[in-house]
Structure formats: structure tokens, C-alpha cells
Amino acid sequence: MDKIILSPSKYVQGYNTIERLEVYTSSLGKNSLIIADDFITKIIKEPVSNSYQNSSSNILFEKFNGECSKTEINRLMEIIQQNKIDSIVGIGGGKTLDTAKAVSYYAKIPVVIVPTIASTDAPCSALSVIYTDEGVFSEYLFLSKNPDLVIMDTKIIANAPVRLLAAGMGDALATYFEARACTAANKKTMAGGTATKASAALAELCYNTLLSDGYLAKLSVENKVVTKSLENIIEANTYLSGVGFESGGLAAAHAIHNGLTVVEELHHLYHGEKVTFGVLVQLVLENAPKNEIEDVLSFCKKINLPVCFKDMGIENINKEKIYEAAKLACAEGETIYNMPFEVTVDDVYSAILTANSLGEDFSS
Ligand SMILES: [Zn+2]
């Protein structure tokens, strides 16, 4: 099988980078559509407009309607045709960014991704999640390429809620362990081939960065300031984890996250929070070294990431529901089959309950 690594064409990260948007986007298009929701537009409209003031490039702001749905994508496609738009810039959270990527794919124009939070590793990937107008999951849209440009403004991210940064660290925590498992099994990654040494190195660097800088980064955001640690964590959550998961491979942790979506009481949690517990379950499943499990538990506690159902707001667990979650985690095509050994529903059920007790013990 071929080895493949994917990444965005360019990644830029800095303080007040939004004020230099024109510098980075002008080579991609001269007539850009900028989409953002009302809340984000209030923050970015002035600096973005200023950056284009003395430029030969034009920009058109358009409100993002809140759902990455076919209706919204088609609406934006019409605006693109009517205004001869030649590039699209998405500024905001996951759904805004996924919509910008999807529109770029259908309109065959370059896309610039400007996340205003560092809560998942999705921004760098060649993937959009499409929902119905009512917000129900519809499909994964596999794009023909990764974004042309990803821009992280550290000042904007420092002012976002700390729980979102922590959730991003939870998502990034899974990257090394899932890539390690997928490589051991010699399975295909999301990039369509087996992992490279480069993606393995990025995944490992991602984990080490979380351990060394995670806590200080959390304190930085609590104070709404940028430190070297926060810079390192923004890079780990977005780029290292982004390339690390896509080209390093997913395994049990994300499959367990997907399984846990059947438990309604967990719907209020962020993706990365549920993935965190998925990591713990994967470590139990593979009987990882105990010092490694302790490192992960200590890290999660410092960052306020959940390590048991109590942390996730469930006092009494319903074992039948947990068995259903285990079943869904083992659905056909799930990435749990990228583990380097056979995994059954009973194995996953046992690992979930054991990980939960382990997390509870560690918390008490
Ligand atoms: Zn994830």
C-alpha cells in the first residue's frame, strides 16, 4: 500500500493575524467572499476591512446562516456566481469552516480557513460534515484537497471560552494513540494510504506538546492573554493534530466517541470531551503501560477534561445504554477496526466500564 501525507498548502499563526488577512489571501483571489456568523462578524469586520483598504482585491461579507447544510451551500454558490467570486474565506467555528470548504469544493475556487477557536483538529483536513437544515448529521463530504490556507489568530483564540480550548486538547490527545495503533496494524489512514514517518512524528510531537504546555495554555486563556504555551497548544490542537489524525490514522478513541452519541445525556458535551474519554477506553482496551495511563489521567484532570461518566454529568450509568454505545462503536466500517488486534462489542463494553471506574478512582 502507498504511504500518503496530506496537509493544508499553507498554515499561518500569529497575534492579530486577522489584520494582515489581505497579505495572505491576495495571491489566491482578487474577489473574495467572506462568510462569518453575526457574532464573529462584529469582531472581525473592522480589522478585515482595514486590511483590504489599500488593496486592489475586493471583498464581500456574507452572513453565515448557522448550518452547514445543502441549502446554505447552494445559497452561497448563487452569491458566488452572481458576484464573480474567485475565492472564499470562512471565519468562525466548525460549521462556518466546513461550509466554506464545501462551497470551495463545488465552486472549484480556493478556500481560506480562519478558525476563531481551537476546539478540534478539523480546520486543516480535506473533510466537511454536512447536516440537514434541522441540524441532523447527513453525510461526510470528502474534498478533493485540503484548504489552500489556514490562518490562526492567537489573540482571537485567547479570548474564546477556555472550555473550547480544553476540548481541542482532548481531540488532540487522541491523535498520537490512534496513529500509533493504526500504524501498528498497518491500516489505511483518512489520507487513503498508510502513515508516513512524518505524520507519526507530528502525532508524537502533538502529545508531548500537550503534556508540556497544556496547563499553562489553559491558564493563559483563563486570563485572555497569549503566551508561548498557548501558541504551542494552538499549533498542537490545529496543525499537529490535524495532519496527525488525517495522515496518521484514527482507531478506537474516535469510534468510541461515535458510539457514545447514542447516550442522550452526553449530547451537551463537546466532541473533544467525549474523545478524551474514548482515549481512556482505548488505553484500557490495549492494556497500555500503567504509567502512560496515569500520565493521561493527570493531564486530563489539570485541564478539566472528563475521565469518567460522573465528570460528564451522569451519576448512575445505564449499562444497557453502554452496551448499545459499544455496539455502535463497533459498527461496520468504524475506525475501531484499525486497532492492531481483534476487537469485539464485549471487549469495548468491558473497557468502557473499566475506564469509567479507573477515572472515578483517580478523581477521588
Ligand atoms: Zn476528532
In three-state secondary structure terms, 228 is helix
In a domain, 114, yes or no: yes
- Both 122 and 223 in one domain: the answer is no
Does the annotation place 32 within a ligand binding site?
A: no
In a domain, 6, yes or no: no
**Domain total in the chain:** 2
Residue 51 alpha carbon to ligand 1 centre in Å: 33
pLDDT score recorded for residue 153: 98
- Both 206 and 345 in one domain: the answer is yes
CB 261 within 8 A of CB 282: no
pLDDT score recorded for residue 135: 80
- Both 51 and 173 in one domain: the answer is no
Residue 171 designated active-site = yes
- Both 258 and 140 in one domain: the answer is no
- Both 149 and 184 in one domain: the answer is no
In a domain, 192, yes or no: yes
Dihedral sign of CA atoms 211, 334, 244, 92 in order: negative
* C-alpha triplet 148, 225, 300: angle, nearest 5°: 80
Instruction: Give the domain-ending residue among 108, 131, 157.
Output: 157
- Both 209 and 115 in one domain: the answer is no
Does the annotation place 215 within a ligand binding site?
A: no
CATH number of the structural domain spanning residue 150: 3.40.50.1970
In a domain, 1, yes or no: no
- Both 303 and 328 in one domain: the answer is yes
Residue 246 alpha carbon to ligand 1 centre in Å: 10
Residue 305 one-letter amino acid: L
Residue 26 alpha carbon to ligand 1 centre in Å: 31
In a domain, 315, yes or no: yes
Tell me the angle at which helices 252-260 and 319-329 cross, rounded to the nearest 10 degrees: 130
Q: In the chain, where does DSSP find H-type helix?
A: 21-25, 38-51, 70-82, 94-107, 154-158, 162-184, 197-222, 228-235, 241-248, 252-260, 271-285, 290-303, 319-329, 345-363
Catalytic residue among 148, 153, 171, 347: 171
Can you give the residue range of the structural domain that contains 358?
161-363
- Both 235 and 328 in one domain: the answer is yes
CA-to-CA distance for 4 and 119, rounded, in angstroms?
Answer: 26
CATH number of the structural domain spanning residue 337: 1.20.1090.10
Residue 241 alpha carbon to ligand 1 centre in Å: 9
Does the annotation place 121 within a ligand binding site?
A: yes
In a domain, 337, yes or no: yes
CA-to-CA distance for 103 and 90, rounded, in angstroms?
Answer: 10
Instruction: Give the domain-ending residue among 131, 157, 183.
Output: 157
Per-residue pLDDT of the chain (364 residues; tens, 9 = 90+): 999 999 999 999 999 999 999 999 999 999 999 999 999 999 999 999 999 999 999 999 999 999 999 999 999 999 999 999 999 999 999 999 999 999 999 999 999 999 999 999 999 999 998 998 988 778 889 999 999 999 999 999 999 999 999 999 999 999 999 999 999 999 999 999 999 999 999 999 999 999 999 999 999 999 999 999 999 999 999 999 999 999 999 999 999 999 998 999 999 999 999 999 999 999 999 999 999 999 999 999 999 999 999 999 999 999 999 999 999 999 999 999 999 999 999 999 999 999 999 999 998 8
Does the annotation place 37 within a ligand binding site?
A: yes
CA-to-CA distance for 187 and 205, rounded, in angstroms?
Answer: 21
Residue 156 alpha carbon to ligand 1 centre in Å: 22
- Both 330 and 317 in one domain: the answer is yes
Does the annotation place 29 within a ligand binding site?
A: no
- Both 241 and 335 in one domain: the answer is yes
pTM of the model: 0.96
Instruction: Give the domain-ending residue among 127, 157, 187.
Output: 157
Residue 271 designated active-site = yes
Three cell numbers written together for 182: 493504526
In a domain, 276, yes or no: yes
- Both 332 and 291 in one domain: the answer is yes
Residue 164 alpha carbon to ligand 1 centre in Å: 13
CB 318 within 8 A of CB 288: no
In a domain, 121, yes or no: yes
Residue 268 designated active-site = no
Catalytic residue among 148, 153, 213, 257: 257
Tell me the angle at which helices 271-285 and 252-260 cross, rounded to the nearest 10 degrees: 120
- Both 150 and 268 in one domain: the answer is no
Does the annotation place 99 within a ligand binding site?
A: no
